[in-house]
Amino acid sequence: MEFGYVCSQCGQDYEIDPGLMVCPACAGEQRPDEPLRGILEVELSGEAGPDFKIPDLLPVAPEFFPPIPVGKTPLWEPRNLRRELGLPNLFIKDDGANPTSSFKDRASFLVSAMAKKAGVEEIVLASTGNAGSSMAGVGAAAGQKVTLFLPAAAPRAKLIQALQYGAEVFRVEGTYDRAYDLSLEYSRRFGGMNRSTAYNPMTLEGKKTVSLEIFKQLGRVPDYIFIPTGDGCILGGTAKGFRDLVKLGLAERMPTLIAVQADGSDALCRALEKGEFSPRPSNTIADSISVDIPRNGYHALKQLREHNGRGVTVTDREIFSAQARLARTTGLFTEPAGAAAMAGLLKLSPELDPGATVVVLATGNGLKDIDTAGQAVELSEKTIKSLEDI
C-alpha cells in the first residue's frame, strides 16, 4: 500500500512529512473564528483483499506502534433496546472499552506511532478532556512526553487521569478554543508534535479504524451510524474509513452518517442548513462535544454533503434521559457525548426502516464524568442501620 497526503480543500498532493500538518496554501486563507482550512487527508493506493488487516491500511508501520491495545472494541447487541425500538439490527460500538476508556485512543495511537517514527519525543495538545487523558495514556505506554493544555472546567476525572499517566498539564483559563491556540503557540515555540484534533492528520486517520472494525465485525456496511459530533473529527474519521473501503473495492457503498449534536453546540448542523459556519458560544453538559468552533468543520460538512449525511440536535435533557435509558436497558454506562448519539437514535428511530442495520457510537465510559451523570439520578442522603429501617 502507498500513502500520501491530499488537501481536502484544494486537492493538492503532498508527501507524508511529520512536520506537515495542514495544507500551506489553504492555511494562508485561514481566518480566526472559523474551522480549520486545508485539513490533510491520507490518500492510500494499492490492493487489499477481503481478509485485510487493519494495520495494512495505516500509513505508519506496526514496528512504530505504541505497546497498548487500542481498538478491537466490542460491538454490542442490545436485546432489550432492539425490542423496544423495533430495530432488530441495532448495534452499539463500545469505544469506552479502549485502554483510557475513550474513542480518542484511536487518534492518539497513530499520532504516537508517527512521532516515534519521526524521532519526536514530545507530543503537545489541547483537549476538552478525553483526547488529553488519552494521549497521556498512550504516550506513557510509548515512553513519550505529553504536554497538555486543558480548559479549567474539564471534568476532574479526565484531569486526574492525565496526571496519573504522568502528563504535564497546564490548566487554561477559558474555553477549549483558548487552550487550542496556546497548544499551537507552544509547539511552534518549543517543538514537539502537535496532536490537536483535526490539525494533525493522524487524528482523522487513526479515527478511521472504527469504521474498518465495524465493517469487519458486521461483515457489511451498516445503513446508519449515529456519531456524537463536536469538532467533526470523529465524523470525518468515520467517513474516511468507509471511503477507504469503497476505494479499495472492499465495500460497495457508504453508510448514512448522522451527526448528532447537542443543541447548545450545534455549529455543524447549523452550517449544514445555512451553508456557512457562524460562531456561537457553546453550552452543553456533553463536554467532549462542546466546542465554539468545530475545528474539522469544513471537512465534516463536506463528508455529510457528499455522502447524503444528516444532522440532528438533541437537548441536554434528552442526553440525560438517553444516558439512563442506555444504562438501564443494556448495562452500558456511557459518558454524555456517547449518550448524545443514543439520544439522536431515540429521536430518529421512528423514521428508520425496521430492517436497517444501525450502529450507535458510544465514545467514552460514563465513569469519566460522574458529576454530570450524578445530576440525573437520585442520590439519597438516608442511610440505614438494619433492614427494619427500609
All three cell numbers of 376, joined, read 440525573
User: Does position 366 bind Zn ion by CB under 5 A?
Assistant: no
User: Does position 38 bind Zn ion by CB under 5 A?
Assistant: yes
Options 12-20, 166-174, 203-211, 227-235: segment touching Zn ion (CB under 5 A): 12-20
Tell me the residue ranges of DSSP E strands in the chain. Answer: 2-7, 13-14, 40-45, 75-76, 90-94, 122-126, 145-151, 168-172, 193-194, 224-228, 256-262, 310-314, 358-362
User: Does position 9 bind Zn ion by CB under 5 A?
Assistant: yes
> Using CA atoms, how far apart are residues 124 and 16, in angstroms rounded to an integer?
20
Check: CB of residue 94 under 8 Å from CB of residue 73: yes
User: Does position 26 bind Zn ion by CB under 5 A?
Assistant: yes
Please state the closest distance from residue 30 (CB atom) to Zn ion, in A: 11
Tell me, what DSSP letter sits at residue 5?
E
> Using CA atoms, how far apart are residues 374 and 310, in angstroms rounded to an integer?
31
Contacting Zn ion (CB under 5 A), which of 10, 152, 160, 377? Answer: 10
Number of residues that bind Zn ion (CB under 5 A): 8
Options 3-11, 135-143, 225-233, 267-275: segment touching Zn ion (CB under 5 A): 3-11
> Using CA atoms, how far apart are residues 100 and 337, in angstroms rounded to an integer?
16
- What is the tally of helices (H) and strands (E) in the chain? 14, 13
Check: CB of residue 83 under 8 Å from CB of residue 152: no
Q: Is 270 exposed, middle or buried (0-12, 13-18, 19+ CB in 10 A)?
A: middle
Please tell me the number of Cα atoms within 13 Å of 115 on its side-chain side.
27
Closest to Zn ion by CB, 7 vs 234, is 7
Closest to Zn ion by CB, 40 vs 179, is 40
Please state the closest distance from residue 254 (CB atom) to Zn ion, in A: 23
Closest to Zn ion by CB, 9 vs 73, is 9
Closest to Zn ion by CB, 3 vs 52, is 3
Contacting Zn ion (CB under 5 A), which of 21, 23, 136, 300? Answer: 23
Please state the closest distance from residue 9 (CB atom) to Zn ion, in A: 5
Please state the closest distance from residue 240 (CB atom) to Zn ion, in A: 17
Options 11-19, 219-227, 285-293, 337-345: segment touching Zn ion (CB under 5 A): 11-19
> Using CA atoms, how far apart are residues 215 and 218, in angstroms rounded to an integer?
5
Options 32-40, 88-96, 171-179, 305-313: segment touching Zn ion (CB under 5 A): 32-40
Options 10-18, 72-80, 110-118, 310-318: segment touching Zn ion (CB under 5 A): 10-18
Please tell me the number of Cα atoms within 13 Å of 78 on its side-chain side.
27
Please state the closest distance from residue 288 (CB atom) to Zn ion, in A: 28
User: Does position 7 bind Zn ion by CB under 5 A?
Assistant: yes
Closest to Zn ion by CB, 26 vs 254, is 26
All three cell numbers of 211, joined, read 469504521
Closest to Zn ion by CB, 20 vs 367, is 20
Binding site for Zn ion (CB under 5 A): 7, 9-10, 12, 23, 25-26, 38
